[in-house]
Amino acid sequence: QQQVKQSPQSLIVQKGGISIINCAYENTAFDYFPWYQQFPGKGPALLIAIRPDVSEKKEGRFTISFNKSAKQFSLHIMDSQPGDSATYFCAARGYGGATNKLIFGTGTLLAVQP
Amino acid sequence: EPEVTQTPSHQVTQMGQEVILRCVPISNHLYFYWYRQILGQKVEFLVSFYNNEISEKSEIFDDQFSVERPDGSNFTLKIRSTKLEDSAMYFCASSPAWGYTFGSGTRLTVV
């Protein structure tokens, strides 16, 4: 119930292509779904986030699509660039009053080839 | 842009020793967290801290771990007697209510 399942584990995309990473969850109490980008040796950096009352959110080349009934959400990176090569984590927040902890997916290692 | 600052960036310690990892969260944030990431694995929740007390802890956060906010600005994670399996990146994060800002982490190596 507290898990967030992420796929694929790794992804290779050509420069200019679309990168798509998928996540699924079980707990309907999750109320905030962020995506994080992590470069080696660095902490996760918030990329984009969505609330469950919205089906899509776009910020620049990054789009989250959210399907509440299927309990799935995905990250689309348009016009992928070599600088986007990083590990991407989806996450979900379980609203529990004083906690607000994030549950992370297992990560996707994205490599964008020039 | 405000940052979460963690020190040291890398700590090497002998098994059985105590370590203290330090964090300076963003000043107007209310929630504070420690997460752990074993090399090549996902980021795992350790503990959350709100209103000067632990609000939730994971099963990883056993009696060897403790957290403190000693002076209103620092937030520390203490590991009392380190084990080899404690080797990981430890991330501090803080949050107002929505959104989290993570520090760059402390790489803890237990030898």
pLDDT at B60 over 80: yes
More confident residue, A77 or A30: A77
Q: Is A56 left (phi over 0), alpha (psi -120 to 50) or beta?
A: beta
Please state the rounded mean pLDDT for residues A83-92: 96
Residue whose entry in the numeric block shows the structure tokens 């979900």: A92
- What pLDDT score does A97 carry? 58
* Contacting residues for B98 by C-beta, under 8 A, at least 6 apart: A32, A49
What pLDDT is recorded for position A98?
55
Q: Would the CB atoms of A104 and B44 count as touching at under 8 Å?
A: yes
What residues in chain B have their Cβ under 8 A from chain A's Cβ atoms?
Answer: 4, 6, 31, 33, 35, 41-45, 48, 50-51, 55-56, 91, 95, 97-105, 107
Instruction: Give yes or no for a contact between A47 and A69, defined as CB atoms under 8 angstroms apart.
Output: no
Range with the largest mean pLDDT of A99-103, B14-18, B29-33, B56-60:
B14-18
Name the one residue in this structure whose structure tokens are 């990250």. Answer: A75
- Cα distance between residue B70 and residue A96, in whole Å: 25
Q: pLDDT at residue B65 above 90?
A: yes
Q: Is A32 touching B (CB cutoff 8 A)?
A: yes
Interchain CB distance below 8 Å, A46 and B99: yes
* Closest Cβ–Cβ partner in B56, B102, B104 for A99: B56
pLDDT band at B77 (very low <50, low <70, confident <90, very high): very high
Task: Give residue A96's pLDDT band: very low, low, confident or very high (50, 70, 90).
Answer: low
Q: Which residues have CB under 8 Å from A68's CB, separation 6+? A: A52, A55
